[in-house]
Amino acid sequence: MSEPDTVDSAQPPARRPQPHIIVRDLTIAYGDFVLMRGLNFVVNRGEVFIVMGGSGCGKSTLLRVLLGLKEPATGEIFYGDFNFIRADSEARERQLRRFGVLYQGGALWSSMTLAENVGLPLGEFTDLSSAEIREVASLKLSLVGLKGFEDYYPSQISGGMQKRAGLARAIALDPEVLFLDEPSAGLDPITSRLLDELILEIRDTLGATIVVVTHELASIFAIGDNSVFLDADSHTMIAGGNPRAMLEKTADPRVRRFLTRGDQSEQDRASR
Ligand X SMILES: Nc1ncnc2c1ncn2[C@@H]1O[C@H](COP(=O)(O)OP(=O)(O)OP(=O)(O)O)[C@@H](O)[C@H]1O
The residue ranges that bind another protein (CB under 8 A) are: 33, 64, 67-69, 93-94, 96-97, 99, 101, 103-110, 120-121, 124-125, 169, 232
Check residue 35 for interaction with ligand X (CB under 6 A).
yes
> For residue 78, how many C-alpha atoms fall within 13 Å in the half-sphere facing its CB?
14
Amino acid identity of 181? D
Contacts (CB under 6 A) with ligand X, residues 89-148: 104
Q: Of 19-27, 58-66, 119-127, 159-167, which segment contacts ligand X by CB under 6 A? A: 58-66
Q: Of 50-58, 129-137, 190-198, 204-212, which segment contacts ligand X by CB under 6 A? A: 50-58
Check residue 60 for interaction with Mg ion (CB under 5 A).
yes
Sign of the dihedral through C-alpha 60, 203, 176, 158: negative
What's the Cα-to-Cα distance from 132 to each of 92, 122, 141, 271, rounded to whole Å?
28, 10, 14, 56
Residue 266: other Cβ atoms inside 10 A:
15
CB of 147 to another protein, least distance (A): 23
Q: Of 38-46, 55-63, 153-161, 264-272, which segment contacts ligand X by CB under 6 A? A: 55-63
Beta bridge partners of 180: 102, 212
CB of 241 to another protein, least distance (A): 27
Q: Of 49-57, 120-128, 136-144, 146-154, which segment contacts ligand X by CB under 6 A? A: 49-57
| Helix H or strand E segment including 155 | none
173 or 195: CB nearest Mg ion: 195
- Phi first, then psi, for residue 225 (nearest 5°) are -90, -30
Check residue 58 for interaction with ligand X (CB under 6 A).
yes
Hey, which bits of the chain come out as E strands?
19-30, 33-44, 48-53, 74-79, 82-83, 99-102, 177-181, 209-213, 226-231, 236-240
CB 265 within 8 A of CB 256: no
57 or 141: CB nearest ligand X: 57
CB of 94 to ligand X, least distance (A): 26
CB of 166 to another protein, least distance (A): 8
User: What residue ranges bind Mg ion (CB under 5 A)?
Assistant: 60, 104
User: What residue ranges bind ligand X (CB under 6 A)?
Assistant: 30, 35, 55-61, 104
